[in-house]
A and B are shown apart, each in its own frame.
Chain A
């Protein structure tokens, strides 16, 4: 017992007695990247630290998104927020309302330390705009993945089929590819949560954020849901069970087509290699219009840090968009480079020769969009998921299920606003 106490005391002493040099600005960057994504993130931060003698960023893995967000909320109350964090825009809204977030606009457009117009416009607009609240930029894109269509090349060849370009073709091909052993399409279990791109493709949207009106139950949403659930009910498509991703059935060649995000690529690639599956990706088929969902978090800065820390953190944010850095990130992680010029850079083009999937995702930049960032925005998705499950499993009427989901989502959004006293 004595030894134990002594030992813990020694350790406490060792851990609290680090030396701090006065002219180095130190701060923390909280993230939720593990595995290969975490490795390359830490490497890039390390590289930044080496290039900047006066700045020392400590990247801290805080578990998964949910753990990270929980920790942020505790940290906010304890006045322990880090200088930089990864965060979903719909989560950042609460911190902006509480005035915890640094407005990046003055940094971005500063003549000396900001982006040049060329650099700024090199970042796809829909990425930039997602960080705007009240006309100010509070966050910038950090790790972004895009939804894609994965398909089994051998199965398509066997049936002499071309890759489907629109909904009608998708349905027709799924039908041809379906037989006793194989289904045409597999969706991730979270299809109801990821289903905004189907609604967008049908010409609709989830919510009109300016007028605060939920819209996913309008006729476009109904059309999208009828299409999705129709595919499932007709037996041409299935929802992945097991671990919830389409990768299992896809690599076992139980399905010919799957929809998932690029962030899922490393897993599909590894498993497909082992099973000798001949596969490829393609852009999402279009409905009434083209629309591609990009998901992932932004980077934001908290205003609870010192001016020096904020200035240093801004340097890191800018560094993140430097061509070589974003290409490194795009080639070594499950995510995409964040600028148009990075997409055209020789290094990335070379990478695409062996890994064409990410190129397809980036082809969708011109019609890319991101999910709404309203306070408690996740309730929109969770209720859409519930509606989809009700339609498929309980055979509910599409319109009715979506109307109910709208009511529930409305209630949850209002509750969140009330919690803020608004």
Chain B
């Protein structure tokens, strides 16, 4: 009994500590600009300023940003899933010359920091005349090396005999992929999708670099509007952050079960 109580205590305090920054963000979003400066800090706002959420709407075209963020995050996620499923399949089941070397080269690109690629990518897109278009926000992110790696490992955990017997039964590669591999790899695919959604939803520098008009920008770019070199409007910044984070939390809640499966279980079929 005592042991159980202790476990709960640790879990609950852990949860509170993890949640605290989010709660802090929510309460700060409702404060006045002066309340933000209070010391010692006041946890709950004395007079909640709901209009902060209206003010941010006046300052940035939030609906348009939300629309763009959704389009970009969805397209990138769906695109990455398609490319990684095909690539992982090729790397696992199809024997072709130089396959393993190619895979190592693929993996080694993960070591290159994204910042270094930023400018060359920008130059390429500029030459393609893609700047300020959805292509620029979507296409460079359609290949995820980590996703391919993860899926390849997942495919490898599925016994090769399954593939061979499917072949004997007259199943074509593509059918085997869609009918058998993909359903079996659902948790891994959900994890990849979530990582992609979160990464793209939060990306700031790239959308800022490749877009020039508010019509083409995404939610995180709007964050910059509430910070200046002389200081920030913290209450507005936090109200805006709340709006950015909400959709991600919803996605997480919806996909929660699959994520837990994806990270914790021994999926696949034992051989």
Q: A70-B205, A74-B118, A274-B34 are in contact. Are A34 and B71 (CB under 8 A)?
A: no
The complex places the Cα of A34 from the Cα of B118 at a distance, in Å, of 24
For the complex, is A422 an interface residue (Cβ under 8 Å from B)? no
Q: Mark A257-290, 1 if CB is under 8 A from B, else 0.
A: 0000101101100110111000000000000000
Q: A4-B74, A4-B75 are in contact. Are A80 and B226 (CB under 8 A)?
A: no
The complex places the Cα of A334 from the Cα of B254 at a distance, in Å, of 45
Q: State the Cβ distance, B209 to closest chain A Cβ, in Å.
A: 5
Chain A residues contacting B34 (CB-CB under 8 Å) are: 251, 270-271, 273-275
The complex places the Cα of A12 from the Cα of B136 at a distance, in Å, of 11
For the complex, is B148 an interface residue (Cβ under 8 Å from A)? no
The complex places the Cα of A74 from the Cα of B35 at a distance, in Å, of 40
Interface SS of A by simple majority: helix
CB-CB contacts below 8 Å: A49-75 with B: 60-65, 67, 70-71, 73-75
The complex places the Cα of A296 from the Cα of B108 at a distance, in Å, of 43
Are B224 and A67 in touch, CB under 8 angstroms?
Answer: yes
The complex places the Cα of A78 from the Cα of B209 at a distance, in Å, of 12
Are A271 and B37 in touch, CB under 8 angstroms?
Answer: yes
Are A35 and B225 in touch, CB under 8 angstroms?
Answer: yes
Q: Mark A229-264, 1 if CB is under 8 A from B, else 0.
A: 000000000000001010111011010000001011
Q: Mark B225-242, 1 if CB is under 8 A from A, else 0.
A: 111111111100000000
Are B216 and A15 in touch, CB under 8 angstroms?
Answer: yes
Q: A77-B119, A274-B32 are in contact. Are A60 and B213 (CB under 8 A)?
A: yes
From A334, which residue of chain B is reached at the shortest CB distance?
B230
For the complex, is B186 an interface residue (Cβ under 8 Å from A)? no
Q: A77-B119, A274-B34, A275-B34 are in contact. Are A12 and B134 (CB under 8 A)?
A: yes
For the complex, is A8 an interface residue (Cβ under 8 Å from B)? yes
Chain B residues contacting A80 (CB-CB under 8 Å) are: 126, 131
From B225, which residue of chain A is reached at the shortest CB distance?
A34
For the complex, is B78 an interface residue (Cβ under 8 Å from A)? yes
For the complex, is B208 an interface residue (Cβ under 8 Å from A)? yes
The complex places the Cα of A11 from the Cα of B132 at a distance, in Å, of 12
Are B119 and A74 in touch, CB under 8 angstroms?
Answer: yes
Q: State the Cβ distance, A276 to closest chain B Cβ, in Å.
A: 10
* From B125, B208, B228, B229, contact of A71 by CB (8 A): B208
Q: Mark A279-314, 1 if CB is under 8 A from B, else 0.
A: 000000000000000000000000000000000000
Q: State the Cβ distance, A27 to closest chain B Cβ, in Å.
A: 12
Q: Which 5 A-B pairs have the closest CB atoms?
A: A274-B34, A78-B126, A263-B230, A74-B122, A267-B231
Q: List 7 A-B contacts (CB under 8 A).
A: A32-B229, A63-B208, A67-B205, A74-B118, A247-B37, A263-B229, A264-B231
Q: List 7 extra interface pairs beyond A15-B213, A243-B234, CB under 8 A.
A: A4-B78, A33-B228, A64-B228, A71-B208, A78-B126, A251-B34, A264-B230
Report B's interface with A, CB cutoff 8 A.
Answer: 32-35, 37-39, 59, 71, 74-75, 78, 118-119, 122-123, 125-127, 131-135, 205, 208-209, 212-213, 215-216, 221, 224-234
